[in-house]
Amino acid sequence: MKTNPSRNTLYHDFAESLLSKRETNSCTASLKTEAIEYLKDLIDFLFPHFSNKVYYSQEDILAKLQLMERNLISVIKELNSNYHENSTTTAQEFTKRIPDIYKMLWTDAEAIYKGDPAAESVDEVIIAYPGFMAIAIYRIAHELYLLKLPIIPRILAEHAHELTGIDIHPGAKIGSPFFIDHGTGIVIGETTIIGKNVKLYQGVTLGALSVDKSLAQTKRHPTIEDDVIIYSQAVILGGNTVIGKNSVIGGNAWITQSIPENSIVYNKSEVRVKSNQPFEDSNDFII
């Protein structure tokens, strides 16, 4: 059987390239799987709503914390060529932050319950609200991000995105309490700063005016001060854009400049009502 030299060369080049990339970019599927399993285990530990495990004493809790620390070390080691040299120190430091994460999440859950007339209990918020789940995963991923752990925070953030439809970059700085109502389609960029007691509705984008790679180390996303409400489909862009405290941003607003404190911003649109009686000129009908 005759071989095609050019075809063999193509495959040889492909094989060399593939081997090279596998050596230098060797994060595996197990990293994603183990990171998500660690996340689930931590959320189960923090909230009995997601767990069948019962803890009877403080000793049980302390033993579980030690186990969580060892499990995180194992996950970090899955980074392979991107192996985090200080895996033990990083895991220890993150474990120390778990009590603070826990306090913030309960504050978030209580704020959602108090702010949503449809919520019948804090338990309902924790177990059934996608906004709370997105916030919970964000707070965990954010602490890992602050510890400069590569890749894993983004794995967790994208897992939250898959579960809830809410996309929060782990680098964003978000105060507590934080309230996401409904939530589908919300996007919060990496350098966003959000104060306390802020409420977002579905489809809100807190984004950048430019996605140029040269701006990676600059503040590209807006600052939202305390006690702001942003209604559905509002778009707020730019690193120098500040929404002043106690402001209300109406639905479908497009904002690229700062808004003073105590402002109400809304998008005025015209709604025309037309009779549904038969009419001849179909050109008047606009979709």
Domains of the chain: which residue ranges?
Answer: 28-165, 185-269
CATH of 185-269, one of 2.60.40.10, 3.30.70.2190, 2.160.10.10, 3.40.640.10: 2.160.10.10
Whole-model pTM?
0.88
Q: What pLDDT shows up at residue 79?
A: 83
pLDDT band at 97 (very low <50, low <70, confident <90, very high): very high
Of the listed ranges 33-47, 79-93, 187-201, 252-266, the one predicted with least confidence: 79-93
User: Are 167 and 195 within 8 A, CB to CB?
Assistant: no
pLDDT at site 9: 81
Lowest-pLDDT choice from 10-14, 154-158, 177-181: 10-14
- Indicate the pLDDT class of residue 280, thresholds 50, 70 and 90: low
Quick check: do 28-165 and 185-269 share a fold? Answer: no
For the chain, the average pLDDT equals 90
Residue range 28-165, CATH number: 1.10.3130.10
C-alpha closest to that of 39 among 179, 141, 146: 141
